[in-house]
Amino acid sequence: MTRTGTLRAYYLGCVVCMGGFLFGYDSGIIGGVLTLASFEDDFGYTKKEATRNSSLSVGLQQLGAFLACFAIWPVTHRFGRKWALVLCSAIFVIGAIIQTIDTHSFSAFLAARFVAGIGLGGSSVVVPMFSSEMAPKELRGQIGSFYQLFYTLGIFTSYWIDYGVGKDIPTSEAKQWQIPIGIQILPAALLGLGMFTLKESVRWLTLKGRHAEAWESLQWIRADSGPSTQLEMDEIRLGVETELREKEGFQLRELYTKPDNLKRTITAAVVFVAQQSTGATAFATYGPQYFKLLVGSKGNNDLLLTAIFGAIKVAACLTFVVFVAERVNRKIVLTLGALGMAACQICTAAIVRSKPPPGDATVTSSGIATVALIYLFVMIYNWSWGPLPWPYISEIFPTRIREPGIGIAVSSQWLFNFVYSISTPYMIRNMGWGTFLFWGIADVVIAAGAWLFLDETRGRSLEDITHTTDGVKSFGDEREYGAGQGDGGKGPGVEIR
């Protein structure tokens, strides 16, 4: 890889993963905003209605995102990855503007959350698709993990803004909640405008038969036109042409009628269900409510602890992306990560069960222990199940089914995000310490599933993983082929490590 090509790949990852920042900021901001007295006053609801309104505010956005996962597929298939992201950005901006206006109508706020969710959900499908198709294989896992890194940066930013406005702006002023809500327009605009500085996906252009543009796009992103880049272009064209020949008469039912496709689709969907079932996303959205459960509800301690929680997420994810992403096997990290999170959650449940917080903001040893365990939990999550699912699911689909496959996979993420967003406030209120036990048991199940059923994809080209060149193993098949096998004139031999 050339130095310029590496920088361009990182730049592309930063631009498209503003969608991840937007996801994180929006997810993190709402939990704190809903606890602000100014918001409650302007939209006219009481403390008794807070649990219901929290569920609706988060859940309707997740529902819009879930539906967008299916709606965005024909858009990105016809118009490309670039213009699909521009459209998602525009839709989110519209929803965010309506949310920021002090309409005094909670129904209007909820409708705007749904609209913004459409833009958010659509981008969450296209971003991993675009980055995986453009990033060099040596950096694909790292750049794919940018989505989670930017997600954590978004959450980090939102937590501190929530803490700042709650501490420094009077509750009588609407700007206390308008500032954190309105700021999300900025990353959405940066995503849309940033797309005008990027080339279209090489694989999408090749799929559409626009080979001159595809070659120009590949030369730009690699900053090179030498033999290695030409070989990569040949491999991409071979993979796409092979699948185009097979794609005649394609129907969605092929996702489940062909065993190999079904295996990929189920794996991708379950990976994202598992990511949501670790409990980390519920913590990200309802951080203040969780920390009230751990340390009581006096003052702004819950917002401060949530803000520190966000900082730890960023530090952990940045460490993973820079130093770990391309140096470890995905399967092992996902298994060990789930076991570590299970230990943290189960221990937290035991402590809260035996020594509940006094409720008066008094610092206790049990409170310190539970907060430390949750901080350790989020570190482990951001070393494993936080960043890795995004590059993993973008890698395992062939071009023929990549768009609907990723769409279905990400829709499962949003569906269970919706389920847990709706249920978490009630879990916290009714289950208490049992909420942590629930997540701990789920993490044990996730660890077993990762070890038994996931395939390794690190360091392999997309054509290798999707067996569109000769001598490449089928998905989930543990057999290995040497570099010299299968070179029947259709493409280079592939050695799987």
Tell me the pLDDT of the chain (497 aa) as tens digits: 789 999 999 999 999 989 889 888 887 788 778 778 888 888 877 767 777 777 788 788 888 888 898 889 889 989 999 999 999 999 999 999 999 998 888 899 999 999 999 999 899 889 888 988 898 888 877 887 788 788 888 888 887 888 788 788 888 888 889 999 999 999 999 999 999 999 999 999 998 989 999 999 999 999 999 899 999 999 889 888 877 776 666 677 777 778 888 888 898 999 999 998 998 877 776 666 677 766 665 555 666 677 777 778 788 878 877 776 667 777 888 999 999 999 999 998 998 888 877 665 566 777 778 888 888 888 899 888 888 887 788 778 876 787 788 878 888 888 888 888 778 778 877 888 888 899 999 999 999 999 888 877 665 655 666 654 333 344 454 433 333 333 333 333 333 22
Burial of 419 per CB tally in 10 Å (0-12, 13-18, 19+): middle
Asked if residue 219 is part of any domain, the answer here is no
Domain contains 242? no
Q: What is the pTM assigned to this prediction? A: 0.71
Number of domains the chain contains: 1
Give the span between the Cα atoms of 33 and 284, in whole angstroms: 13
Residue 481 lies in a domain: no
| pLDDT score of 360 | 59
38: tokens are: 């100014």
Identify whether the C-beta of residue 416 lies closer than 8 Å to the C-beta of residue 276.
Answer: yes
Long-range contacts, 2-8 (Cβ 8 Å, 24+): 2/222, 2/223, 2/224, 3/223, 4/223, 5/136, 5/221, 5/222, 5/223, 5/224, 6/139, 7/223, 8/220, 8/221, 8/222, 8/223
Does some domain include residue 235?
no
Q: Is 350 inside a domain boundary?
A: yes
CB 37 within 8 A of CB 164: no
Task: Estimate to the nearest angstrom the gap between the alpha carbon of 18 and the chain centroid.
Answer: 11
Spell out the alpha helix ranges (H) of 106-226. 106-134, 140-144, 146-168, 175-183, 185-194, 202-207, 211-222
Please check whether residue 455 is in contact with residue 396, taking contact to mean a CB–CB distance below 8 angstroms.
Answer: yes
pLDDT at 101: 92
Identify the domain containing residue 200 by its residue range. Answer: 3-208+252-465
Alpha-carbon distance of 26 to 342, in angstroms, equals 27
Within a domain: 227:
no
The pLDDT value given to residue 462: 59
CATH classification at residue 105 = 1.20.1250.20
- What pLDDT does residue 496 have? 28
Residue with tokens 């249920």: 423
In a domain, 220, yes or no: no
Q: Is residue 427 situated within a structural domain?
A: yes
> Nearest 5°: CA angle at 198, between 196 and 203?
125
